[in-house]
Amino acid sequence: MSKDYVVGVDIGGQTAKIGIVNKKGDILARKVISTKFEDANEFITLLGKTIREMAQDAGIAMDDINGVGVGAPDGNYYTGDIVEATNLMWAKGKTVHFANELSKMLGGQPVTITNDANAAAIGEMKYGAAKKMKNFIEITLGTGVGSGIVVDGKLVYGHDGFAGELGHTCAIKNGRACGCGQKGCLEAYCSATGVARTAKEMLEKSDRPSLLREYKDITSKDVFDAAEKGDEMAKEIFEYTGKVMGEKFADFIPFSAPEAIILFGGLTHAKDYFMEYLVDAMNENVVFLWKGKVKVLVSALNESDAAILGASALAW
């Protein structure tokens, strides 16, 4: 018989968001911890300790928790491992037996893991903009670019558990180096770090005035703030980002014919500056069968809630 609570963990390049969730999908307790560790064991130890403390503070016995669901970069649903996650210092270039080690930390509590973007897609399908959809693609725009592909109401994992790495398909031939070792990946252009790289390149190639010249180490948030203040170069950076995304989305559509492509993550805060260019480029480049038919939506869920709820659903 299923117990009353599960834990959802969303692991990102900077932080991990943790939530204790009941059967109704209510997040009863939540906490954020850093993921900036060199050693995987240090992070797993902190995560296990934090989960135990959260349960205790909420008055929930560990025995009443059905399991822990984890969404993580390069998390493998089949093996429970995190494999060479380029955006996690403690998993870069190595395989971390994450589910097994966290389970040990929690006294044998079952732990299920999947790609962080897949977790967001599950949350979207159960509670968000894709609630009534059986075919959609979730694109996560954060430190990297992730994706979860849903066909006939089921996540696509492929034979090895890694299907759906659309962020590491080529957007610009022989383009920027990506953390995965390839060149020209979508992630290198349309992630938060990709936007910052575009800003630095534009500033170097031009002497045009811009508020961005005030920053020593530009971030995507700096670009957004400058755009909000009317900075023309900042707006052009998002226009370029939107066009690159749209052209690549046109390539994604034919293989699964999604009803919608749903955008999730911090970069969606800048949607007013790139969405129009994205949709126009997508429809301009897509095969005629889908021209004007595929919606591009922004997640209907709170950014923290979507991934936590999606990850937690793995544990029921």
Measured distance CA(192)–CA(212) in Å, rounded: 15
Mean pLDDT in order along the chain per 10 residues (316 residues): 88 93 93 97 98 97 96 93 93 97 97 91 88 95 93 95 94 95 97 97 96 95 98 98 98 97 95 98 98 96 82 92
Tell me: do 148 and 239 sit in the same domain.
yes
Tell me: do 92 and 164 sit in the same domain.
no
Tell me: do 171 and 117 sit in the same domain.
no
Residue 256's identity, in one-letter code, is S
Tell me: do 102 and 174 sit in the same domain.
no
Tell me: do 155 and 202 sit in the same domain.
yes
Tell me: do 287 and 179 sit in the same domain.
yes
Tell me: do 86 and 168 sit in the same domain.
no
Q: How far is CA 310 from CA 57, 72, 119, 176, 259, in A?
A: 23, 12, 4, 32, 20
Tell me: do 32 and 98 sit in the same domain.
yes
> How many folded domains does the chain comprise?
2
What's the predicted TM-score (pTM) here?
Answer: 0.85
pLDDT of residue 1: 55
pLDDT of residue 304: 66
pLDDT of residue 295: 98
Tell me: do 163 and 255 sit in the same domain.
yes
Decide: residue 228, CB within 10 A, 0-12 exposed, 13-18 middle, 19+ buried: middle
Tell me the CATH number at 292: 3.30.420.40
CA of residue 210 relative to chain centroid, distance: 30
Range of the domain at 94: 5-122+304-313
Tell me: do 89 and 188 sit in the same domain.
no
Three-class SS of residue 116? helix
Tell me: do 146 and 202 sit in the same domain.
yes
Tell me: do 147 and 265 sit in the same domain.
yes
